Amino acid sequence: MAARTRLPLLFSKNLPPFKNQKLAHTEAAVKEPTYPPIVPSLTAKSKSARGRQVEDHVKKICASPVDEKLSLITRIQRKKFVVYPQTFARNADRWYQHFTKTAYIPGLPERFALDPEKRTGVEKEESSLPAGAQTTVPGVEIDAFADIRSLVTRMILQEHWHMKKRKPFLYREQEQMVGPFLRNLVTGLTYSLAKYNPLLPLSSLDIDPQVNFYWRRGQRIIPKGHRRGRQEPTRFQIDDQPHSQIRITQQLPQFTSLEASYAAEVPEVAFAPNLMPLFRRQYDNNIFTGAKLPDPACYGHTQFHLVPDRYHRDRMARQQQSDQVEVFLRANGLASLFAWTGAQAMYQGFWNHEDVTRPFVSQAVITDGQFFSFFCYQLNTVALSVETDANNPRKNLLWGTESLRLYESVQDGAVVGLNDDVVKLLVQFLVNQP
């Protein structure tokens, strides 16, 4: 009797589970134990453990803010090849193209074309110009261009005619004669073109800045030592000191799309870099655009370079090495611009394993006082080390001109043969804006 009275209570408890068959199955599934993911060990003395350490390091770098990223990437010092932008090595531009994965395109991009049809075509699109005004540079009136011409002639005369300079010391000619001229030219041009380029008043003009960049490309097998037989990445460092540079707050627009660079050709050099000749040293790994990280003007606009004093164009022509003249300038432009754009990309947080999402663009002018060469560089990829370069179709692009003469000579207080095209190109370079 007592059991009978208790039965409804027991029965009522068990009722809900037996009504719904589904609940019984899900409860059984939840009770199964789960295991943590199976990954290689972290501290074992094995290749998979080393791989896991590298992966963890990469994830740590990806997850940290930009300044910590830079310090983690440049933390460990090892022997690296020091790449000098101004080098007298033969065929240096082919070697540098291989180190930086850059394709060279002779001539300048379409924006800087010197054809009159293209210029008139661009004029019609410019609504700010009054109808019928003929300009030599789109966006700049002809009076302003005449002003700029007179400014350039004044600078040239100032340095070479009006100022009484003693004969320059040995190998100090560029520093004494051309350096002040270029400085005055750059400051004068930026001031006069400030009203045509809204970025210039907000830009920062550095004189004698430092530009450094550190990257890894390629591998080699260590021939001797306790690490013999193992793969070692080849490290490079560029330490450059351009004469002056302009940094702006916004980025310049790209010259071509990223996909257009897939078809470009980069010369492959199968030999080790020390055959170039290139030498290895170990010191601080620096990545620097010209200003520290929190600076708002973090994107680059134009760099100006002076040619070193031992570079004598006529001496090279006498020794039948005229082709090396252009090679030297191209190598200089390539290395300097790659270092600058690479450092700009690093400042934005892109590095070897996180490739750039938008191309970084910069310009450079290399001169020895009379001859000017113009270079434009588009950085499409920073992923140059072996593991990231395996499936990377992107290439960096360098456009460059041959050296163009600015003026023939200075006689009797007047500049003879001032080349308008060169002045036009200078103005176009400085007016370039997004």
Partner 1 sequence: MIRLGNPQLRIFRPNWFLTLVRPGKEQPPDTVQFRIPMEMTKCDVKNYLEKIYNVPVGAVRTRIQFGSNKKRNHLNQKVKQPDYKVAYVQLAQGQTFTFPDIFPEKERMPTEGSMEEMQEKFMEDEKQRQKLDPRRGGVTEWFGL
Contacts to partner 1 by CB under 8 A: 88-91, 269, 271, 275, 277, 319-321, 323-324
Are 211 and 242 in contact by the 8 Å Cβ rule? The answer is yes
- Comparing CB distances to partner 1, the nearer of 62 and 275 is 275
- What is the C-alpha separation between 133 and 169, in angstroms, rounded? 49
CB of 280 vs partner 1, minimal distance in Å: 16
CB of 172 vs partner 1, minimal distance in Å: 18
- Comparing CB distances to partner 1, the nearer of 188 and 308 is 308
- What is the C-alpha separation between 352 and 73, in angstroms, rounded? 9
- Comparing CB distances to partner 1, the nearer of 200 and 327 is 327
Locate 165 and state its tokens. Answer: 């300079």
- What is the C-alpha separation between 204 and 275, in angstroms, rounded? 39
Specify burial of residue 19 (Cβ count, 10 A radius: 0-12, 13-18, 19+): exposed
The widest CA-to-CA distance across the chain, in whole angstroms, is: 135
Are 358 and 386 in contact by the 8 Å Cβ rule? The answer is no
- Comparing CB distances to partner 1, the nearer of 83 and 140 is 83
CB of 325 vs partner 1, minimal distance in Å: 13
Residue type for position 160: H
Locate 268 and state its tokens. Answer: 């492959």
- What is the C-alpha separation between 326 and 328, in angstroms, rounded? 5
- Comparing CB distances to partner 1, the nearer of 33 and 277 is 277
- Comparing CB distances to partner 1, the nearer of 88 and 145 is 88
CB of 323 vs partner 1, minimal distance in Å: 7
CB of 404 vs partner 1, minimal distance in Å: 24
CB of 328 vs partner 1, minimal distance in Å: 13
Question: 3-state DSSP call for residue 337?
Answer: helix
- Comparing CB distances to partner 1, the nearer of 33 and 223 is 223
CB of 275 vs partner 1, minimal distance in Å: 6
Please give the full DSSP string across 239-305, using - where no structure is assigned: EE--SEEEEESSPPPPSS-TGGGGG-------S-GGGSS--EE------B-SS-TT-S--EEEEEEE
Q: How far apart are the first and last CA of the chain?
A: 95
CB of 236 vs partner 1, minimal distance in Å: 18
45 backbone dihedrals φ, ψ, rounded to 5°: -95, 65
CB of 319 vs partner 1, minimal distance in Å: 8
- What is the C-alpha separation between 36 and 63, in angstroms, rounded? 23
Are 336 and 85 in contact by the 8 Å Cβ rule? The answer is yes
Q: What is the CA radius of gyration of the chain?
A: 31
- Comparing CB distances to partner 1, the nearer of 35 and 271 is 271
- Comparing CB distances to partner 1, the nearer of 120 and 274 is 274
